[in-house]
Amino acid sequence: MSWNRDAAISHIRTHAGSHSIHRCARYTRQAIEAGGVHLDNIPDAKDYGASLERAGFREVPAGSTLVAGDVAIIQPYQDGNPSGHMTMYDGTTWFSDFRQTSMYPGPGYRKTRPAYKIYRKN
């Protein structure tokens, strides 16, 4: 399955807003699909790992250098959004339904630093 990483990144950059509207999985999935890869439509961001793997993405070992097009699946934290979070890296910035200041999308995530996995399609 061929993937146009640049098209995916362009899509997520142009569609991301200035703040979250709680549609991170939808926006990230649509960006990946704009690059030519189909993902299953999963209700919760935290559960997208298997769909990414079926589409040819592979988990990146912890501590690896990030590259443009990497996708993070972040697990929920106690008292936070139970859906978790999904986001894409453009080489300098993380995007989902909004332009993020870090991989973790908000103060609760940054404080608790829940588990996450990074996926990459080569």
Token reading at 92 = 């300098």
Which residue numbers in the chain have pLDDT < 50? none
Q: What is residue 50's three-state secondary structure?
A: helix
Give the pLDDT confidence score for residue 70 in this predicted structure.
98
Distance between CA atoms of residues 107 and 30, nearest Å: 25
Residue ranges making up the domain that contains 12? 5-120
Give the pLDDT confidence score for residue 101 in this predicted structure.
96
Give the pLDDT confidence score for residue 122 in this predicted structure.
86
Taking the CA atoms of 51, 52, 54 and 58 in sequence, report the sign of the dihedral they define: negative
Distance between CA atoms of residues 9 and 14, nearest Å: 9
CA distances from 26 to 30, 33, 42 (A): 6, 10, 9
Structural domain count of the chain: 1
**Model-level pTM?**
0.96
Give the pLDDT confidence score for residue 1 in this predicted structure.
54
Geometric angle at alpha carbon 88, from 92 and 39, rounded to 5° = 155
Give the pLDDT confidence score for residue 21 in this predicted structure.
94
What CATH number is given to the structural domain containing 104?
3.90.1720.10
- Asked whether the beta carbons of 115 and 49 are under 8 A apart, the reply is no
Distance between CA atoms of residues 42 and 34, nearest Å: 17
